[in-house]
């Protein structure tokens, strides 16, 4: 089992690097290619991939210090993946010498001794290396970046955005596992009946008082998605911030709603629930793969008023619908969910923020054309950057004077920055959920 898990982890990390895939997709695809179905093997590989990927900058820094005058990039992708996994397991989990020897032998058996020949000396050097010594001589931002496992540019950005003290709390929190949340689905059963079924499966949950149908998972005996209640559509695994964003949109029964960037279906099924399956939801996304998931989830959750539309919203919406409510949750840099998507940290550069803001701007402009007079446009991201949030809304309001910010209710977050107090921001280290931004705009021609 251990060897199979390490082989899966090595292959997954190398595919992530070669193809730019996220952890979950790469792990799923690789497990399928290797025909690995054992949940224990996949679970162990999942931990290795996520935790190694989370610390990648520090691990690479240690390895390059050890490999000098050579570098990690002198090795092939699978060798790099193994060296990273070895360093994580021997320096950050347990530095037992005998364990390190076993892992090195296992690496040779998986990859072949020729593949790792140039790294033999590094195995012992890594064990002898003192992490604190390596950090000496670095400036403050570089040291914080390595010790909290974030890119240096992002540490500098957070220092400017939040101040050093608050930024450290935010950055350090990225190592913590945020709570899981579920949204109880009243389209399939009453809230009371659904709760009884969930609790019978020994899932302990706690109500989030400010939000409808939203519960924090305190304890569960098995993965939530393997419960009968999940299969029957009695709940959706959905972060508190995501539930909040849909609820503040205020969908009502009978409305016409455009749900833009809809997949994998959390917003759509939540909208249908709040609308009591009365009205019309036009759900738009550009990804065929993700829309397949959307179709499966809307069916599981009993959302009967949603209609899928495959389209690239940056160019135009293939409909002339004028909606009571348009919800846009566009692609973003995911800087508010680095604890859940570690690989996103290393794919981003400082200029990536501006590139993503450009895409969001194009989408926001397209969505504005489909909001009827007296209707609402709700914009949200799981990013904490100003460029993707407040600065984008400022620019939008200048270009579209027919829109104005309106107060968001309920208020469970902090006010938006740059004077946009009607918007709300949520932070993982404060609100125990994804980092999020939400703006609600009213159209008055």
In the block, tokens 């619908």 appear at 321
Whole-angstrom distance, CA of residue 239 vs CA of residue 215: 9
Q: What secondary structure letter does DSSP report for 431?
A: H
Q: What secondary structure letter does DSSP report for 92?
A: I
Q: What element of type H or E holds 184?
A: strand 181-184
CB 333 within 8 A of CB 360: no
- Contacts of 429 by beta carbon, 8 Å cutoff, 6+ apart: 169, 170, 172, 173
Helix residue ranges per DSSP H, 348-410: 350-368, 390-399
Q: Does residue 423 have an active-site annotation?
A: no
Q: Which of 158, 261, 367, 382 is catalytic?
A: 382
Whole-angstrom distance, CA of residue 331 vs CA of residue 327: 13
**What dihedral do alpha carbons 393, 398, 403, 408 form, nearest 10°?**
30
Q: What secondary structure letter does DSSP report for 264?
A: T
Count CA atoms within 13 Å of residue 199 on its CB side: 10
Whole-angstrom distance, CA of residue 65 vs CA of residue 63: 5
CB 397 within 8 A of CB 379: no
Q: How far apart are the first and last CA of the chain?
A: 64
Distances (CA, A) of 179 to 219, 357, 367, 433: 10, 29, 33, 7
Helix residue ranges per DSSP H, 149-265: 152-162, 164-173, 191-200, 228-231, 240-249
Angle formed by the axes of helices 39-54 and 56-67, to 10°? 70
User: Rounded to 5 degrees, what are φ and ψ at 280?
Assistant: -140, 130
* Three-state secondary-structure class, residue 308: strand
Residue positions annotated with a catalytic role: 382
């Amino acid at each position: 089992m251990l060897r199979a898990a390490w082989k899966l982890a090595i292959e997954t990390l190398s595919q992530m690097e070669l193809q730019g895939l996220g952890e979950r997709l790469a792990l799923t695809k690789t497990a399928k290619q290797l025909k690995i179905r054992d949940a224990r093997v996949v679970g162990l590989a999942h931990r290795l991939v996520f935790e190694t990927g989370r610390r990648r900058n520090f691990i690479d820094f240690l390895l390059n210090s050890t490999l000098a005058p050579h570098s990690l990039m002198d090795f092939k992708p699978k060798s790099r993946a193994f060296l990273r996994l070895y360093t994580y397991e021997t320096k950050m989990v347990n530095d037992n010498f005998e364990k390190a020897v076993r892992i090195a032998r296992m690496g040779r058996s998986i990859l072949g001794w020729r593949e790792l020949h140039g790294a033999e000396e590094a195995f012992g050097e890594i064990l002898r290396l003192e992490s604190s010594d390596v950090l000496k001589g670095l400036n403050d931002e570089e040291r914080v970046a390595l010790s909290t496992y974030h890119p240096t540019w992002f540490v500098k950005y957070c220092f400017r955005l939040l101040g050093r003290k608050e930024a450290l709390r935010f950055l350090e929190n990225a190592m913590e596992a945020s709570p899981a949340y579920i949204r109880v689905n009243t389209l399939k059963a009453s809230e009371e009946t659904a709760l009884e079924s969930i609790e019978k499966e020994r899932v302990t949950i706690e109500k989030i008082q400010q939000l409808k149908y939203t519960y924090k998972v305190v304890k569960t005996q098995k993965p939530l998605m393997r419960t009968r209640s999940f299969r029957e559509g009695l709940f959706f695994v959905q972060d508190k911030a995501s539930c909040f964003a849909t609820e503040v949109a205020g969908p009502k029964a009978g409305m016409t709603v455009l749900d833009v960037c809809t997949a994998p279906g959390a917003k759509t099924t939540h909208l249908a629930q709040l609308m009591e399956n009365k009205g019309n939801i036009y759900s738009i996304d550009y990804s065929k793969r993700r829309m397949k998931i959307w179709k499966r989830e809307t069916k599981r959750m009993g959302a009967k008023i949603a209609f899928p539309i495959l389209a690239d919203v940056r160019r135009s919406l293939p409909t002339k619908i004028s909606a009571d409510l348009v919800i846009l949750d566009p692609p973003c840099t995911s800087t508010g969910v680095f604890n859940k998507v570690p690989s996103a940290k290393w794919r981003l550069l400082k200029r990536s923020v501006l590139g993503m803001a450009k895409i969001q701007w194009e989408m926001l402009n397209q969505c504005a054309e489909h909001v009827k007079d007296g209707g609402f446009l709700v914009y949200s991201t799981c990013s904490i950057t100003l460029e993707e949030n407040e600065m984008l809304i400022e620019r939008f309001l200048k270009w579209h004077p027919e829109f104005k910010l309106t107060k968001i209710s309920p208020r469970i977050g902090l006010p938006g920055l740059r004077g946009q107090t009607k918007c709300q921001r949520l932070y993982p280290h404060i609100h125990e959920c994804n980092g999020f931004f939400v703006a609600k705009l009213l159209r008055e021609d």
